[in-house]
Amino acid sequence: MTRITFIEADGTTIEAMAKPGMSVMQVAVNAGIAAIAAECGGACACGTCHCYVAEDWADKITPAGEDEADMLDFVIDPTATSRLSCQIAVTPEMDGLVIHIPSSQT
């Protein structure tokens, strides 16, 4: 199992356990994080699973693909570490990953 910490815009911290192969979006939804609406169900078509990967993790996970990068052009308040959480597949190496939830989604 891989431990992922989600930090909401108000500072609320939620730790969740993930199985390899799950998406970070699925982990967040299973943990009851309402700010990850995931309206398209993980099809890379809505942007409501937008998150910020903690800076010290940003270069340790697979970079965004072309479709994800295109969709990130439409999210509110993007940063250099913006990702669509539905497009990040959990691996065992991600144990300890920290994900910040944008304030625009609270």
Could you tell me how far CA 28 lies from the centroid of its own chain?
Answer: 8
DSSP-H helix ranges across the chain: 24-30, 66-72
Q: Is 45 in the site for ligand FES (CB under 6 A)?
A: yes
The span of 11-19, 46-54, 58-66, 92-100 binding ligand FES (CB under 6 A) equals: 46-54
Closest-approach residue to ligand FES (CB) = 86
Residue type, 60: K
Which H/E stretch holds residue 83? strand 82-84
Please, which of residues 62-101 interact with ligand FES by CB under 6 A?
71, 84, 86
Residue among 41, 97, 49 at smallest CA distance from 72? 49
Is residue 24 close enough to count as binding ligand FES by CB under 6 A?
no
List residues near ligand FES by CB under 6 A: 25, 38-40, 42-49, 71, 84, 86
